[in-house]
Amino acid sequence: MDSRILIVGHGTAGKALAADITQRGGTVVGFLDDLVSGPDVLGTLADVNEVVARHDVDLAYFAIPSVDATTVRDFINSVDVSRVDIAIIPRTHEILTRETVDINDLTDVDVLDLVGRKPVKHDVLSAQAFVRGKRVLVTGAAGSIGSRLVKQLAGMGAEVVVCVDWWENGIFFLSEELGSAASGIEYHIADIKNDLLLTQLFERYRPQVVFHAAAYKHVPLMQANPIEAVNNNVWGTLNLMQLATRFAVENFIYVSTDKAVNPVNVMGSTKRIGEMMMQAIAADHPETAFNAVRFGNVIQSNGSVMQTFRSQIAKRQPLTVTHPDITRFFMTIDEASHLVIQSAIVGEASDIFVLDMGEPVKILDLATSLIHAVDPTLSVEFVGLRPGEKMFEELSYEPDKVAATPNSKIFVVRDAQEFDTADFMNKVGELLAATRSYSIDSIETVERLRSLGFAIQ
């Protein structure tokens, strides 16, 4: 190891990394830090290029895993990458909770490093107290959010965690990953539209808590397949909510989306219908606490911009951005799934929660920072907004009507839209009768959604 290395960050991670490099025979020329001074601190983060030139640095290792993404992006963008290569200790909960780091933890700069807030340690104790001894059912258990929920729930002392998904391979991989060490986990291949099979599962397990994460979520695909979007996201959700009331489920948590706010696409409309059905059903069934959780883009989820950019970088293709001004909220999958559990703890009847997503990020800024750090020869290609895609996302209808909860990362929406629940549920029933019998086509399905008050593009 003959490279000259500069460590960015003189905290616990930076000093542990430096010690590991030195033990392996490497050369650490010093540190950069904005808050610490000393003989081995050669300057602040803003001094990086001067320090690199003065000390003939080959590699800069960013080792401040507790910092916010804005600091990472600003630093990455300031580095003269023609003179020095960059690697990073990832900003993850797993790294943050470890006592030490070493050179094996270093990775190339990734989308995950450039978005999201400062990582926080989760309130595991309250989640364990809520889950312990209970029978829990998770739909969409093989998906991004669902599988992470299952992994977090697995160690919390539940009597049983029932994993439900139609995706055979996903359920198989989840069971393999958790292994035999995760006791009390049951796996079932089941479609949420199959009311007979789900009834059997509810009769068998009598779940006390249901996390409903199953959904079709890809906006352009659902725009092109509105009948299946309605059948899965509306009928499947109604099926589960009705079973929850029939079997006296204590807590039902519906995973929603920011696209349910003023929806302009089929997917967002179906998720908003789910929220409204929840409110209508909850009014007649106070024995079950129904709650919904809205959040924006989960950066590691299937089909996310992170996966797209990673694939394009690996293939040395241009990074595709739909519009120069498009912005999105982002959250890590660990934080999203943890806050879904926390929402169940603080929720009351028919509350809709929004998660603290931080500040929206311009996708173009994300792409240019990534290109700068990883491969400056790549370019950005603008491909235009996709069908049903918004330029900016919202988390509530009236942002000033969002109230605090005991959890600083979770807010409750107080902008409930008044509607005739009986009339609404009748119209939903008519829509489902048509889509489930396939007696209407895609165009008429969209028109039926518009008749419910949604301004679908």
Do residues 156 and 97 both lie within one domain? no
Q: Say how far residue 87 (Cα) sits from the centre of its chain.
A: 24
- Write the single-letter amino acid at 193: K
259 is catalytic: yes
Identify whether 427 is part of a domain. no
- The reply to whether 51 and 137 lie within a common domain is no
Of the residues 15, 259, 390, 409, which is catalytic?
259
Quick one: 75 and 209 in the same domain?
no
Q: Report residue 302: phi and psi, to 5°.
A: -60, 130
Pair 253, 394 in one domain: yes
Confidence of residue 350 (pLDDT cuts 50, 70, 90): confident
Determine if residue 182 is left, alpha or beta; phi over 0 gives left, psi from -120 to 50 gives alpha, anything else beta.
Answer: beta
Residue % of the chain over a pLDDT of 70:
93
In a domain, 252, yes or no: yes
The predicted-structure confidence for 107-158, as pLDDT tens digits, reads as follows 888 877 887 666 656 678 888 999 999 999 999 999 989 999 999 999 899 9
pLDDT at 120: 58
CA–CA separation, 326 and 414 (whole Å) = 27
354 and 278, same structural domain?
Answer: yes
**Is residue 424 one of the residues assigned to a domain?**
no
300 and 161 in a common domain: yes
- 394-423: average pLDDT: 74
φ and ψ of 407, to 5 deg: -100, 120
Question: H or E stretch including 17?
Answer: helix 12-23
Q: Are residues 98 and 233 in the same domain?
A: no
Same domain, 144 and 251: yes
Residue 274 counted as domain residue: yes
Of the candidates 379, 389, 226, 237, the residue with the CA atom closest to the CA atom of residue 323: 389
Q: Could you tell me what percent of the chain has a pLDDT over 90?
A: 62
Does pLDDT of 27 surpass 70?
yes
Q: Are residues 345 and 305 in the same domain?
A: yes
Contact call for residues 288 and 241 (beta carbons, < 8 A):
no
- Over residues 235-283, the pLDDT tens digits come to 999 999 999 999 999 999 999 988 898 899 999 999 999 999 999 999 9
| pLDDT surpasses 70 at 181 | no
User: Residue 81 belongs to what domain range?
Assistant: 4-109
Beta bridge partners of 61: 7, 87
Given a cut of 60, whether residue 91 has pLDDT beyond it is yes
| 56 and 143 inside one domain | no
* Residue 116 located in a structural domain: no
Distances 370 to 224, 239, 248, 357, 377 between C-alpha atoms, Å: 31, 43, 49, 21, 11
The pLDDT score that the predictor gives to residue 66 is 86
Q: How many domains does the chain have?
A: 2
Structural domain includes residue 334: yes
Grade residue 300 by pLDDT with cuts at 50, 70 and 90.
low
pLDDT, tens only, 429-454? 999 999 999 999 999 999 999 999 99
pLDDT at residue 382 above 90?
yes
